């Protein structure tokens, strides 16, 4: 309090440097792990907000004040909730978004930017307390006569979209109305902010935002024709973010999109050409094969950009290199392999230009080329591996120096460089900064892993050095590089298996690499402080268990179980960043992390079978904590999905847990969230199938619970498919407990499966067993069965083994009924009738 009193007096008398000292003291206190602030938090926030709002003070003083609020939002957010400070903070910060930055000021000190950072941090840490106040601000001020407040309204919505994604997904209509309305605002600054917000929505509100493509895409297409260059640039960003995840829905927009984008590419300034290329890349990635008609023209255009050498053109060159890689992924090996060499040469020559961003995007380009060429990429390894190693081994903050011996290859395009005379000058551009080097290292590390994965045994000369780099980078100070190293280690292991499988001492060498990989992963799980990196380590271990089985983890079982338990009990290093224990209702964990951890349990079950039970017993209670009624729906369904797969692969030992699990599963069958109903149906079926006597008393409850999932009121096709799968499993294991005369008509009405073909084998194996046993109830539905079988055999998405079991079932019906089936076959489409005939004769 005394520091605050002195600071207030000093500010009043113009001695701002004293206040800045006070803020530096508060900064130290906030960052301290010890709870030193106590109830002073309220006073510190009030003082900081006073200073933040005072436009007569220096930018640096105000920035320090806002920074204090930002640190509190990051490290002491529970204190902000406790003292009811969240709403007062948001009121001030949202208002600051409307404050114009003084062009003389350093951008980084601008109050609106600093305020946006506070709002973003609060949204990330305590989203439930942020959405309503910000939404209210946006709703009121989107109608303001002051354009700065209209701009602030849509900016605020864009800023919170990452943190508040779960809430905003369910409230997209009113939010989109505000933003799409702002895209038509007469003021350029408002339209620019709306484009930014839309790009943020497209990035963070997946997949729900895509269902609005019919209203969003025409608005964005209109915005990229805007008179303002700034609005255009932000609209390209929005377009790129939106199209990236669209998939086949984009096909109907391809012509107008590509017409506008290619026209813009031809007659825009460089910065717009860059964002335009990014948008074309997103369109190509979404359209996949449908992009083929546009690929040739795009690739031809990129030849011009890929030989530019002026400093100011190198970002465009980087984007064009990236775009060629993306187009290659859409077109595929067949369309690209023959025309690749000049692009490869141009990409390699770019390493002589001393521009970190170009090297970063070129590593991404080579990663894509490795994916489409697969083992054929081995021909390029001698040329690209030195470049990748050089980037991986960069000193932070210094640029790599590579000679320009390949420069003559640029002319394979017959293109003209943007600065022909520059060929006579030494290209020394020390413009890499540390962040650029970090991005370059991350891209190079990713490329290294993908080269190993795709070239396998041809990667042998580079294996040892690559393993050293991955091992070193797994402990790197920045999480982006660690993330790529953790992913890449798994690929190095795949290459090692291919390399050593025919060696006399191969097993020993492969095990040495496995040892490095597994020890790194287990250490990362327990000790890394980044949740995304830890999640990737968990996913990689799950993949290793699936790919190599129990033999891969048997020597590491005890520490691996300990590390998994640490994460389930939320005691790992990455879960200790918050200052106080989170309230249950705030879902104080990272969804991606816990999904990855919960996916480890089925991986254990798959490779250990019934032997997993003693380990599962340790995991059970910590896992069930996430299934409490107070937890959000995504937590509960995470648990149910994990348990379903464990039940499937652990088998009979799951019976000991049936009484604890069934009440949860039955309740989840009635969840308002489709994913929860789907996973609950799957879990119910597996518990009934493998739960033994413990499950028998629940058969009636389960049948009553899944019956509504077959009805017209169930909008989700995957839910129906899983209900069919559950029913089939129950019939197979205990047909006498299922009233087939009531259940079979309902089951057959839901066939063939529409979306979740993973359930097909269970469903059609059930029908096969009933037909083979000459069950009178199934035989009364022979006309329906013939119709269903025809559709299954014609389906492009059903697996060969599913079609085989359907074919065998139909053959058995032929052997029983012979020509009596002819009337039912004759009404089918000829293509289906022919397929049935072919399968019958083959059997």
Contacts (Cβ under 8 Å, ≥6 apart) of 8: 47
Task: Give the closest residue to 65 by CA, choosing from 84, 53, 52, 78.
Answer: 52
| CA within 13 Å, CB half, 385 | 20
Contacts (Cβ under 8 Å, ≥6 apart) of 165: 127, 204, 205
- Say how many C-beta atoms besides its own lie within 10 A of residue 70's C-beta: 23
pLDDT of residue 410: 39
Main-chain dihedrals φ then ψ at residue 635, nearest 5 degrees: -70, -45
Surface-to-core class of residue 43, CB atoms within 10 Å of its CB (0-12 exposed, 13-18 middle, 19+ buried) = middle
Task: Give the closest residue to 574 by CA, choosing from 486, 638, 514.
Answer: 486
Q: To the nearest whole number, what is the mean pLDDT of the chain?
A: 87
- Say how many C-beta atoms besides its own lie within 10 A of residue 558's C-beta: 10
pTM: 0.82
Percent of the chain topping pLDDT 90: 66
Main-chain dihedrals φ then ψ at residue 750, nearest 5 degrees: -90, 5
- Give residue-wise pLDDT tens across range 474-492: 999 999 999 999 999 999 9
DSSP code string of 34-69: S---TTHHHHHHHHHHHHHH-TTS-HHHHHHHHHHH
Q: With residue 511 as reference, give the H or E element that holds it.
A: helix 506-527
Contacts (Cβ under 8 Å, ≥6 apart) of 118: 66, 69, 70, 73, 89, 93
C-alpha to C-alpha distance for 720 and 753, rounded to whole angstroms? 8
Q: What's the average model confidence in pLDDT over 96-112? A: 69
Structure tokens at 36: 């030193």
pLDDT of residue 576: 83
pLDDT band at 589, cuts 50/70/90?
Answer: low
Contact 124, 80 (CB under 8 A): no
Residue 659 has pLDDT above 80, yes or no: yes
Contact 587, 550 (CB under 8 A): no
Q: With residue 750 as reference, give the H or E element that holds it.
A: none
Structure tokens at 77: 């957010």
**Can you state the percent helix, strand and coil of the chain, rounding each to 5?**
80, 0, 20
Sign of dihedral through CA atoms 420, 425, 427, 429?
negative
C-alpha to C-alpha distance for 660 and 666, rounded to whole angstroms? 11
Range in 64-73, 142-151, 325-334, 383-392 with the lowest mean pLDDT:
64-73
C-alpha to C-alpha distance for 283 and 279, rounded to whole angstroms? 6
Task: Give the closest residue to 230 by CA, choosing from 183, 193, 178, 267.
Answer: 193
pLDDT band at 583, cuts 50/70/90?
Answer: very low
Helices (H) and strands (E) in the chain, counts: 43, 0
C-alpha to C-alpha distance for 410 and 495, rounded to whole angstroms? 33
Q: With residue 752 as reference, give the H or E element that holds it.
A: none
Secondary structure letter of residue 186 according to DSSP: S
Secondary structure letter of residue 84 according to DSSP: T
- Give residue-wise pLDDT tens across range 178-223: 999 999 999 999 999 999 999 899 889 888 888 888 888 888 888 8
Q: Where are the domains of the chain?
A: 1-100+108-152, 770-842
pLDDT of residue 371: 97
Sign of dihedral through CA atoms 591, 597, 603, 604?
negative
pLDDT of residue 50: 82
Task: Give the closest residue to 122 by CA, choosing from 154, 91, 153.
Answer: 91
Cα dihedral 545/550/553/557 (nearest 10): 120
Contact 473, 424 (CB under 8 A): no
557: helix, coil or strand?
helix
Structure tokens at 809: 């079932």
Task: Give ∠ CA 390-393-398 in degrees, rounded to 5.
Answer: 90
207 cis-preceded (ω within 30 degrees of 0): yes
Sign of dihedral through CA atoms 434, 438, 441, 447?
negative
C-alpha to C-alpha distance for 482 and 488, rounded to whole angstroms? 10
pLDDT band at 363, cuts 50/70/90?
Answer: very high
pLDDT band at 403, cuts 50/70/90?
Answer: very low
Range in 26-30, 108-112, 707-711, 731-735 with the lowest mean pLDDT:
26-30
Contact 330, 294 (CB under 8 A): no
614: helix, coil or strand?
helix
85: helix, coil or strand?
coil
709: helix, coil or strand?
helix
Q: Tell me the angle at which helices 254-267 and 270-287 cross, rounded to the nearest 10 degrees.
A: 160
pLDDT band at 55, cuts 50/70/90?
Answer: confident
630 cis-preceded (ω within 30 degrees of 0): no
DSSP code string of 573-584: GGG--SSSPPPG
Give the Å distances, CA to CA, from 78 to 82, 84, 123, 530, 574.
6, 10, 13, 20, 18
Contact 718, 676 (CB under 8 A): no
Contact 49, 88 (CB under 8 A): yes
Structure tokens at 646: 């464990």
Residue 284 has pLDDT above 70, yes or no: yes
Q: Where are the alpha helices (DSSP H) in 205-250?
A: 213-223, 229-243
pLDDT of residue 222: 86
DSSP code string of 632-701: -HHHHHHHHHHHHHHHHHH-GGGGGGHHHHHHHHHHHTT-SSHHHHHHHHHHHHHHHHHSTHHHHTTHHH
Give the Å distances, CA to CA, from 245 to 118, 250, 454.
29, 9, 25
Contact 52, 62 (CB under 8 A): yes
Secondary structure letter of residue 572 according to DSSP: S
Contact 485, 476 (CB under 8 A): yes
Give the Å distances, CA to CA, from 645 to 603, 604, 649, 682.
9, 10, 6, 9
Residue 56 has pLDDT above 90, yes or no: no
Structure tokens at 617: 């017993």
Residue 821 has pLDDT above 60, yes or no: yes
- Give residue-wise pLDDT tens across range 413-435: 433 333 333 333 332 333 333 57
């Amino acid at each position: 309090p005394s520091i605050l009193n002195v600071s207030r007096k000093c500010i009043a008398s113009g001695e701002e440097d004293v206040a800045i000292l006070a803020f530096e003291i508060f900064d130290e206190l906030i960052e301290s792990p010890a709870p030193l602030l106590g109830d002073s938090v309220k006073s510190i926030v009030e003082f900081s907000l006073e200073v933040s709002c005072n436009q007569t003070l220096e930018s640096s003083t105000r920035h320090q004040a806002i920074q204090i609020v930002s640190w509190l939002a990051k490290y002491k957010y529970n204190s902000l909730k406790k003292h009811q400070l969240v709403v007062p903070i948001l009121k001030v910060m949202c208002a600051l978004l409307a404050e114009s930055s003084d062009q003389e000021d350093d951008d980084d000190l601008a109050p609106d930017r600093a305020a946006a950072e506070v709002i973003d941090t609060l949204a990330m840490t305590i989203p439930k307390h942020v959405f309503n106040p910000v939404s209210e601000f946006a709703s009121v001020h989107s109608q303001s006569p002051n354009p700065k407040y209209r701009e602030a309204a849509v900016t605020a919505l864009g800023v919170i979209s990452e943190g508040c994604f779960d809430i905003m997904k369910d409230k997209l209509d009113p939010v989109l109305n505000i933003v799409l309305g702002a895209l038509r605002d007469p003021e350029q600054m408002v339209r620019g902010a709306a484009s930014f917000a839309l790009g943020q929505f497209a990035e963070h509100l997946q997949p729900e935002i895509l269902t609005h493509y019919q209203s969003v895409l025409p608005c964005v297409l209109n915005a990229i024709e805007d008179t303002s260059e700034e609005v255009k640039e932000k609209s390209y960003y929005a377009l790129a973010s939106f199209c990236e995840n669209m998939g086949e829905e984009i096909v109907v927009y391809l012509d107008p999109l590509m017409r506008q984008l290619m026209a813009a590419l031809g007659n825009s300034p460089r910065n717009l050409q860059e964002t335009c290329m990014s948008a074309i890349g997103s369109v190509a990635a979404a359209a996949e094969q449908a992009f083929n008609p546009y690929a040739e023209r795009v690739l031809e255009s990129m030849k011009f950009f890929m030989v530019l050498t002026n400093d100011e053109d190198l970002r465009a060159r980087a984007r064009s290199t990236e775009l060629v890689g993306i187009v290659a992924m859409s077109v595929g090996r067949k369309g690209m392999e023959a025309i690749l060499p000049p692009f490869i040469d141009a990409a390699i020559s770019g390493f002589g230009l001393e521009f970190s961003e170009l090297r970063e995007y070129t590593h991404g380009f080579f990663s894509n080329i490795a994916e489409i060429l697969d083992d054929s990429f081995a021909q390029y390894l001698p040329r690209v591996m030195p470049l990748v190693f050089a980037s991986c081994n960069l000193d932070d903050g210094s640029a790599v120096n590579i000679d320009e011996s390949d420069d003559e290859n640029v002319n394979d395009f017959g293109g003209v460089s943007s600065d022909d005379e520059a060929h006579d000058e030494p290209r020394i551009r020390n413009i890499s900064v540390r962040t650029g080097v970090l991005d370059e290292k991350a891209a190079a590390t990713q490329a290294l892993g993908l080269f190993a994965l795709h070239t396998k045994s041809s990667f042998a000369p580079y294996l040892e050095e690559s393993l050293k780099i991955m091992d070193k980078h797994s402990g790197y100070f920045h999480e982006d590089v660690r993330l790529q190293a953790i992913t890449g280690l798994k690929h190095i292991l795949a290459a090692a298996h291919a390399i050593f499988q025919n060696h006399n001492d191969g097993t020993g060498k492969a095990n040495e690499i496995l040892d490095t990989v597994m020890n790194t992963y287990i250490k990362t799980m327990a000790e890394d402080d980044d949740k995304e990196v830890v999640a990737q380590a968990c996913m990689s271990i799950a993949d290793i268990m699936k790919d190599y089985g129990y033999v891969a983890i048997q020597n590491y079982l005890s520490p691996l179980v300990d590390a998994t338990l640490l994460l389930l009990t939320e005691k790992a290093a990455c879960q200790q960043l918050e200052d106080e224990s989170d309230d249950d209702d705030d879902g104080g964990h990272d969804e991606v992390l816990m999904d990855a951890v919960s996916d480890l349990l089925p991986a254990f079950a798959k490779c250990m079978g019934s032997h997993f039970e003693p380990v599962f017993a340790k995991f059970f209670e910590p896992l069930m904590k996430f299934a409490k009624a107070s937890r959000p729906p995504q937590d509960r369904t995470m648990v149910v999905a994990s348990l379903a797969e464990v039940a499937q692969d652990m088998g009979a030992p799951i019976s000991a847990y049936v009484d604890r699990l069934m009440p949860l599963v039955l309740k989840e069958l009635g969840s308002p969230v489709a994913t929860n109903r789907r996973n609950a149906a799957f879990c119910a079926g597996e518990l009934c199938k493998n739960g033994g006597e413990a499950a028998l008393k629940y058969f009636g409850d389960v049948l009553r619970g899944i019956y509504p999932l077959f009805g017209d009121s169930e909008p989700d096709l995957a839910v129906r498919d899983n209900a069919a799968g559950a029913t089939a499993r129950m019939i197979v294991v205990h047909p006498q407990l299922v009233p087939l005369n009531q259940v079979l008509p309902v089951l057959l009405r839901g066939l063939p499966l529409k979306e979740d073909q993973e359930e097909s084998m269970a469903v059609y194996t059930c029908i096969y067993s009933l037909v083979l046993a000459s069950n009178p109830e199934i035989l009364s539905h022979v006309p329906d069965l013939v119709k269903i079988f025809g559709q299954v055999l014609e389906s492009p998405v059903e697996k060969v083994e599913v079609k085989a079991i359907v074919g065998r079932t139909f053959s058995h019906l032929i052997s029983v009924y012979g020509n009596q089936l002819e009337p039912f076959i004759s009404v089918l489409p000829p293509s289906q009738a022919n397929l049935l005939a072919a399968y019958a004769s083959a059997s």
